[in-house]
Structure 1
Amino acid sequence: MTSERTRSRVVVTPAMHRLLMVLLVAFAILVVDSVYLGTISFLEWQRNETLQGFTYQTAFLLHLLLGFAMIVPALVYSIMHLRRALHRPNRLAVRLGLALFAVTLLLFVSGILLTRGLPVFELTHPVSRNLVYWLHIATPLAACWLFILHRLAGKRIRWGAGIGIGGVSLAMILVIVWVSTPAPPEPIVGNFEPSLARTESGHFLTTQDLMADDYCAGCHADIFDQWQHSAHRFASFNNPAYLFSVRNTRRVAFERDGDVTAARFCAGCHDPVPLFTGAFDDPDFDDEKHETAHAGITCVSCHGITALGSPRGNSDYVIGAPEHYPFAFSENAMLQWVNGILIKGKPALHKRTFLKPLHESSEFCGTCHKVHLPEKLNKYKWLRGQNHYDSFLLSGVSGHGVQSFYYPEKAHTNCNGCHMPWQASDDLGARPFEGGLAVHGHHFPGANTALPVLLDLPEHVNAAHREILRDSMRLDIFGLRQGKDIAGPAIAPLRPETPIIVPGQDYVLDIVLRNVSVGHLFTEGTADSNQVWLSLRLIDDTTGDVIAVSGDIDNRDRVHPFAHFVNAYVLDRNGNRIALRNAEDIFTKLYDHQIPPGATDVVHYLIRVPESVSGSVSIEVALHYRKFDTQYFEAFNGGTGNPLPIVTIAEDRLTLATSEQQDAVVNVPSQIENWVRWNDYGIGFLRKKERRGLRQAEAVFRQVSTLNPANGFLNLGRVYLQEGRLYDAADMIRNAADAGAYPWSVAWFSAQVDLQSGELESAIDLLSEIRDTQYVEAKRRRFDFSRDYRLHVAMGQANFQRGKLVRDGEPNPWFEAAIDAYQIALSLDPENLSAHYGLVLLYERLSDEKNAEHHRQQHATYRPDNNARDQAVNIARQNDPAANKAAEPVVIYHLYPPDTEPQVELTRATDTFQ
């Protein structure tokens, strides 16, 4: 009887049949949806580009909703069906049904595991997620196959309906894929000049587009916390120093032009939110209360950038309104949660929108950390401003500069290694790093140590700035000369042995200042208002009294004007110092004491020990850093004095015995390799202006050649090239090659000799070898010299000179090669004066007046106005004795009695700020 009841019992009741139809319809929709999602994923893999957009995310949301909605009904149906069919005599159908049920459970479980943002658990491990993902792909295919087999073992399947539905579904999928594939980008229009920034649409953006920091913080809390104390966060009207300067620029522009558009020059980098929303152009813009005034450089201001223009800087980028997931800015908590589920489940669109390959490039940083002053701002002509980018690009640090003195073991291919160091974090954007998870730090250390004082921020904010300053420069008290100039022979190196000095006699002390770890000019940035200086104290060891000083600080926190400053002394057209960050008035430089990567300066001091001193004397020298000098700080802050922290970046100390002293003097040996000390010493003389240190450099590099022949001979070749001694230069370069000097350095300086000797084809071959980086060691270190535009300019010059030897009427591939080389140089440096001039000469020879005139105009734009410069410089030198002295090619600083003791304590970078 039981067997008969089992046979006659209906396995699918009418109610169950209706539920099954609902589930099948939902499953059919899911199949269509899944095929669409899979097709997009396949096309992304095939094209190596992200195609996910709003349509894709909507489809993914539908996938989640239907998937979760089906779980309970499917389980209910399966259990009811299982209870009715488990003991049916058709055992094949039963076994297939059980297998189908098991696969369905796997399908649901894998889908739940893949869903990010669930309140109870979340599968985050990449390998585990990958395995579960492919399980989720395979189980619906297995379910379809088992369902067909299950039905084949039972009642007849109605194939016609299924094929019809499948055909319609396939057509729908193809249409949706075609519609949702992004169209090619349209030409970019729009004008925010003199800033070079543009928007994708050519129109203004909204505050919601640009001010989404709190939205970002929901998933990136660690990054948000770092950013909110950073110099980028406080780059706009919320920074008192910038506020003072940009207010003045806006005022000058309005009084001069009747509008403030000239100040857009600042806004493209400092005030993107007011600029792109249109608020900045309002002359009555409330820079204290307007909602955009204190936005700073927001998350979207950087991560919303979609393209870079040229490497000219001045905010030459394109920014767009980000493409968000559904419910991105909903105020409903449930919909916000759904938005998070979508982002975590399918983050490809989010990554494509907010993190592009361009964000990892030095060119991205260069859009704002390279500046020129446009004519619309200064009503004069194009002038170069600060430029971190080119000094990094042309350095050995980047692996692109072919002329460097030193090279790293591995090239630093972008700015992030120093300015966005890895920070341990469990942030959703974290990546595996050194056995844990980490994110690129967003505090952007760059030595802006003024922020905690100006904005009342926590003291720990300066930790990253201290770290980047610490030992970035190096001081070495290296040599001593009798007399009052550098003409005499140097007693060097000082330490461990030191000479005995005679009280009452004059000596010139040589101190080497080396850029050790800064990958661009030190200091760069606001080099006119950054205050970096050397202090020196001569101490009587017997009494402890300070005999004489240089670089001390008075009661108003002002550094003595006759100190050595590592800065740029910038002038307006009337010869006045640019002291208030008034960029619109910048005209020229009186001097520039900044130091390139891996280079040095030799700073000279005249010292005389009083005849009354009977024991040893000590010399203490230190390099100090303060973000702003006192004149500028008092201007924007009001009052007197300068409480900004002073950091001691580097220091050195030496004790010297006097002729009156009986006991021996012991100095700790230098930790620097002896050949490096000598080499740094020579580099400093080689870099003296007007070639005033070449004789000293030659003597020093001869000493280096006995300690490290490769570097010594190569640098002697540099000296002889500057002196025009081509035969001697070639001889030294051959010696350097035999001693194992870097082959690219040998090739570069050999090419310079060949160029000046008329061996043009040899020079071209050598330059081509460098351009292609045909050196195993260079490739191992990830160097790429094809990015050095000086190399391409040299190739253009060599090919042009070779082409001039071709007779008229004969094919001249040299001219074409020269044009190509100059054009490559301009693609890397569009404002390159030599490249434009070379193209003028070439196109004139080719009778191409149109192109010749274009480059003639470009050359006129970028050519310095030396006549006007000389007038401003002469006025400045007459009005400022200290600056006049500092502008000399060789400066010997005099010590003076300590009139007053410093009023602030100078601390090392590793210590707590005062």
Structure 2
Amino acid sequence: MRVKWAIGSRRISAIRAAYVLLVGVLSLASVFAFLPGIQAHSDQSQTQQKITDEMAVRKEYANRVGKSYNFAFGKGNISTPGNAAVEGNTFLEPDAFPTADYCGHCHKEAYHQWRQSLHSNSFRTPFYRTSVNILIRTKGIEFSRHCDSCHNPIAVLGGGLTQSSIVDRKFDQDGLTCTTCHSVQKLQSTLGNGSYVMGVPAVLVDEKGERIPGMVPDSEILTHLDRHSKAVMQTFYRTPEFCSACHKANLPNPLNDYKWIRAFTAYDEWQNSKFSQRNPLTFYQADFTSCQGCHMKRASNVLPEPGAKNGTFASHRWTAGNTAVPFYYGFDEQLAKTVEFLKTGNYLNVDLFAIRKANDDKLIAPLGSTPFNLEPGETVQAMVVIQNKNIGHSLIPEVRDLYEGWVEFVVTDSTGKEIYHSGFIKPDGMLDERAHSFTNRPVDTDGQFVDNHKVWTIHSVAYDNGLQAGRSSLVRYEFRIPAEATGALTITARVNYRHLRQSYLNNVFGKDHAAYPIVELASRSRILNLGENSVTAPDPHDNGDWMRWNNLGIAYLDQLQYSDAIQAFSQVIRLRPDYADGYTNIGLTNIEWEKYASARGGLEKALELSPNNARALYYLALVERRAGHSDAEVEDLKKVLAQYPQSRDARRELGISYYQQRRSQEAMEQFEALQAIDPDDLTAHYNLALLYRRMGMKDKAKEQSALFVTKKIDPGAPTYSLDFLRKHPEISIESVPWHIHKEAQPPAVISGGGEN
């Protein structure tokens, strides 16, 4: 039997129709007890014929598409500048993917949730289309394979992203369907940019485990549920590495004609967080939680769902931070679930930690636990500590240039009149320029902010204030108490979030559009009496005082304020002398301050309290290296890796230790293990280039050397950042870690903290 493919990716599906008919007819024969052998043989024969026919159709389709496909990045490179791949390394006809409607016939709950999810709407939204269309108009449709390897895999692997494409793009409206995710057969390390390998879609395997392409009758699935499960589920679907295929991205040379630049890496951030249990260096510990454990939480299903277990189903909404898409489409249920997810997750802790009076170095801290006096006319600096407490990645993750997360800080007098307001929304919907925001500013070669998400023009980042998982940020505000003030002042700090920033919404819709949702993630208020302030009871959501000091120390450390960090950590061990990490934190601060000898005492005390503590051992190894005790250094790092075999930091440092000891083979093994964890590690590229060459492996050395050259920072890139900062003094202060927000602002017309 031979079927010819028709213009526009509509294929004559005689093969599949015939197969459905034959299976239906043959299934009737199963009632005849005297034909079981004939039936089994016939079923297997039909399966093999279907597989053979599918291969023929695919080959014919691939030949037709390949004749006009723009292989701009090399023959056979279907998805470059993306990393998507397909079994057989040739085009896969779009009709080979059963539709979501087909799956939703049985999986009603999954379909209902998916339809309003970001995965379902990964391609068609005006927010995504605005940026990708600029790329297509500017550089050509073939460059959009970089984006669509994740946003529209069927278009990429079907050969639709080429000039004069003959592919019917009807699948665009469904983005990532059930069978795009559930047809992935393996991953290409954790490279990102769509680093998966797609198989020919199948919802059933035969009795030998062979995948049966395309759709099959419901009766066949219901008869062989175990074979259906084998076709659509892989063990790695439940791992964070599966998510890393797309939730990690870079801007490669084929895209920007410049060099490799990291775009975002939610996966790496998770791996370095306390929730992965792979990193011994986190400030706090927690139970293991994967990406799926947070974004696919199990809940009772409302609609019929064969995939449910014990009355619960893993969410296929993938709720996270995107309020813009459900707001735009009127998906009220998805929007409500997203807002609930953001507001109730206990992700952040906002701590109005301290105040300091002008011309006085004394820190009044922690507020609530320390009595003090305030007088009218005094100038006060308030210190707000924002802790990224329970997010498994940074705040804000991924494309920080598009999302807005910021601190709103308000001071009011006893009548409710505003004395100071930072982080307000202006009448035109724009955020106060001087707000402290958890964002970045990518810039091009002209020192201009890369607007419209034109990522191929990015050459540098002027600053990046993203708050990493498990860490804290210290934000300082300075205001003057009016001389005529009486009674009490109320200070409030809240963290607000908007998806997307107003200027990008304006780029998409023009300035006349609805106000998109603003969600308050966390907040804290305190009363400052004019006159005497006594000790007050803590709020139930407040951290203990030892943790408040610890978070301040973490924030000081990240702002390079080493002396202040040590003072803060010293308060931690005063309050909790049994807390080993308090001593380790002092040792870490001294190491970053390059006071290695001073670091030893704290680290040894930590190990006295917590023998074999991996975190203390890691930092002690660095002290031993500086002291020239190379054997002790190696032994400490080996103990760390015995507990945390996936620690990228310990692998890197042990590789360096072996290299310095001229133990080349062992050094090479560590750097190769490091690349298995992080294929982009710059130190691994550099050292493997040297080691491979030393061992006569010239081709591998050349490969690693090239990767190092393209991934290392361009030494000229900071000049583009400096140009931008000079042009924008109103926000250049954000590039200084220890900056103070001083300027009083006019009252806000629209305050954050609401949902609209």
Q: What interval of TM-score do these two structures reach, taking the shorter chain for normalisation?
A: 0.7 to 0.9
Aligned-residue offset at 1:741: 7.4
Asked whether the equivalents of residues 418 and 747 of structure 2 are also in contact (C-alpha less than 8 Å), the reply is no
Structure 2 runs not aligned, ≥5 long: 1-18, 56-74, 207-214
Deviates more, 1:517-526 or 1:489-498: 489-498
Asked whether the equivalents of residues 57 and 325 of structure 1 are also in contact (C-alpha less than 8 Å), the reply is no
Aligned-residue offset at 1:705: 0.8
Normalising by structure 1, report the TM-score.
0.72
Report matched runs for 1:420-569 at 5 Å: 420-425=296-301, 427-432=304-309, 436-470=310-344, 471-483=346-358, 488-541=361-414, 543-569=415-441
Distance (whole Å) between structure 2 residues aligned to residue 57 and residue 834 of structure 1? 55
Counterpart of 1:77 in structure 2 is none
Q: Please, which of 727, 733, 739 is the counterpart of residue 891 of structure 1?
A: 739
Aligned-residue offset at 1:58: 12
Asked whether the equivalents of residues 304 and 319 of structure 1 are also in contact (C-alpha less than 8 Å), the reply is yes
Distance (whole Å) between structure 2 residues aligned to residue 792 and residue 638 of structure 1? 50
Report matched runs for 1:590-601 at 5 Å: 590-601=462-473
Deviates more, 1:217-226 or 1:464-473: 464-473
Q: Please, which of 414, 419, 422 is the counterpart of residue 295 of structure 2?
A: 419
Cα deviation code 1:31-85 (max 9, x no counterpart): xxxxxxxxxxxxxxxxxxxxxxxxx999998995444234xx99xxxxxxxxxxx
Distance (whole Å) between structure 1 residues aligned to residue 264 and residue 393 of structure 2? 11
The reply on whether 1:863 has 2:712 as its aligned counterpart is yes
- 3-state DSSP of counterpart to 1:786: coil
The reply on whether 1:241 has 2:127 as its aligned counterpart is yes
C-alpha distance 285-718 of structure 1, shift in aligned 2 (>3 A): farther
Counterpart of 1:374 in structure 2 is 252
C-alpha distance 645-191 of structure 1, shift in aligned 2 (>3 A): same
Aligned-residue offset at 1:384: 0.4
- 3-state DSSP of counterpart to 1:884: helix
Aligned length: 705
C-alpha distance 468-622 of structure 1, shift in aligned 2 (>3 A): closer
Counterpart of 1:388 in structure 2 is 266
The reply on whether 1:722 has 2:685 as its aligned counterpart is no
- 3-state DSSP of counterpart to 2:161: helix
**Aligned-CA RMSD value:** 3.3
C-alpha distance 741-638 of structure 1, shift in aligned 2 (>3 A): farther
Report matched runs for 1:338-353 at 5 Å: 339-353=217-231
Q: Which has the larger radius of gyration?
A: 1
Distance (whole Å) between structure 2 residues aligned to residue 675 and residue 472 of structure 1? 19
Distance (whole Å) between structure 2 residues aligned to residue 477 and residue 387 of structure 1? 31
Q: What amino acid is aligned across from residue 393 of structure 1 in structure 2? A: Q
Report matched runs for 1:822-901 at 5 Å: 822-846=671-695, 849-867=698-716, 869-897=717-745, 899-901=746-748
Counterpart of 2:173 in structure 1 is 294
- 3-state DSSP of counterpart to 1:834: helix
Cα deviation code 1:420-472 (max 9, x no counterpart): 1102127444343xxx3211100011110112321122255332343145331
Counterpart of 1:252 in structure 2 is 138
Cα deviation code 1:591-640 (max 9, x no counterpart): 11111211111111112212121222110111100001111001101234
Normalising by structure 2, report the TM-score.
0.87
C-alpha distance 818-313 of structure 1, shift in aligned 2 (>3 A): same
Distance (whole Å) between structure 2 residues aligned to residue 631 and residue 573 of structure 1? 21
Distance (whole Å) between structure 2 residues aligned to residue 817 and residue 190 of structure 1? 35
Asked whether the equivalents of residues 536 and 619 of structure 1 are also in contact (C-alpha less than 8 Å), the reply is yes
Q: Please, which of 126, 150, 161 is the counterpart of residue 269 of structure 1?
A: 150
Distance (whole Å) between structure 1 residues aligned to residue 205 and residue 548 of structure 2? 62
Whose helix fraction is larger, Structure 1's or Structure 2's? Answer: 1
Q: What amino acid is aligned across from residue 890 of structure 1 in structure 2? A: W
Counterpart of 1:635 in structure 2 is 507
Q: What amino acid is aligned across from residue 341 of structure 2 in structure 1? A: E
Counterpart of 1:205 in structure 2 is 92
C-alpha distance 437-430 of structure 1, shift in aligned 2 (>3 A): farther
Cα deviation code 1:190-233 (max 9, x no counterpart): 52211111121323222322351111001100000000001111
Counterpart of 2:64 in structure 1 is none
Asked whether the equivalents of residues 425 and 752 of structure 2 are also in contact (C-alpha less than 8 Å), the reply is no
Aligned-residue offset at 1:825: 0.8
Q: What amino acid is aligned across from residue 477 of structure 1 in structure 2? A: L
Asked whether the equivalents of residues 619 and 655 of structure 1 are also in contact (C-alpha less than 8 Å), the reply is yes
Distance (whole Å) between structure 2 residues aligned to residue 875 and residue 611 of structure 1? 41
C-alpha distance 666-747 of structure 1, shift in aligned 2 (>3 A): closer
Distance (whole Å) between structure 1 residues aligned to residue 169 and residue 217 of structure 2? 30
Report matched runs for 1:108-119 at 5 Å: none
Distance (whole Å) between structure 1 residues aligned to residue 256 and residue 324 of structure 2? 28
C-alpha distance 218-615 of structure 1, shift in aligned 2 (>3 A): same
Counterpart of 1:364 in structure 2 is 242
Structure 1 runs not aligned, ≥5 long: 1-55, 75-139, 141-165, 255-259, 328-335, 774-784, 804-813, 908-912
C-alpha distance 431-454 of structure 1, shift in aligned 2 (>3 A): closer
Report matched runs for 1:900-911 at 5 Å: 900-903=747-750, 906-907=753-754
Aligned-residue offset at 1:645: 0.5
Q: What amino acid is aligned across from residue 566 of structure 2 in structure 1? A: E
Q: Please, which of 588, 594, 616 is the counterpart of residue 488 of structure 2?
A: 616
C-alpha distance 325-844 of structure 1, shift in aligned 2 (>3 A): closer
Distance (whole Å) between structure 2 residues aligned to residue 344 and residue 284 of structure 1? 39
- 3-state DSSP of counterpart to 1:840: helix
Report matched runs for 1:136-155 at 5 Å: none
